[in-house]
Amino acid sequence: MKMRRLTPVLLVDAIEPALAFWTDKLGFSKTTEVPHEGRLGFVILERDGIEVMYQTKDSVAADVPALAQSPQRGTFLFFEVDDLDAVATQLKDVTPVIPRRKTFYGADELVVREPCGNVVTFAQFEKQT
């Protein structure tokens, strides 16, 4: 199993205040945005192959209610992998935060907590043909 990429997901109250910092000052581009209740709920910013994701606490609560109950605040880790079945086998003794799922953005995901309580998502995307 190969880890393809690690992207931090910054959990915030509102995304909009951070956008100019990344786009205007640092030259990142907004490659993906997902609205939630009339404002941004999720965004991916990219520059030179580096990604930073932001997601609002309200959006997380709507998407994965189990995470809303968590005292965890701050950074989640998002790993893109080439073989999610292999990851699932390696983590068979770890209870997932939610059942393994297919997302609207085309990923097969497994979301767990590492032993210190941090949320780690492993995602495999369908191969492009």
The 10s digit of each residue's pLDDT in 46-74 is 988 889 898 998 999 999 888 776 655 55
Q: Are 110 and 121 in contact (CB under 8 A)?
A: yes
CB-based contacts of 41: which residues, under 8 Å, 6+ apart? 15, 34, 35, 55, 56, 58, 59, 62
How many CB atoms lie under 10 A from the CB of residue 4? 12
| Rounded Cα gap, residues 41 and 113, in angstroms | 22
CB-based contacts of 40: which residues, under 8 Å, 6+ apart? 14, 15, 16, 33, 34, 54, 56
CA atoms within 13 A on the CB side of 9: 22
Report the domain count for the chain. Answer: 1
The SS3 call for residue 21 is helix
> At residue 89, does pLDDT exceed 90?
yes
Read off the CATH number of the domain in which 59 is found.
Answer: 3.10.180.10
- pLDDT band at 26; cut points 50, 70, 90: confident
Range of the domain at 120: 3-125
| Rounded Cα gap, residues 116 and 113, in angstroms | 8
Provide the whole-model pTM: 0.69
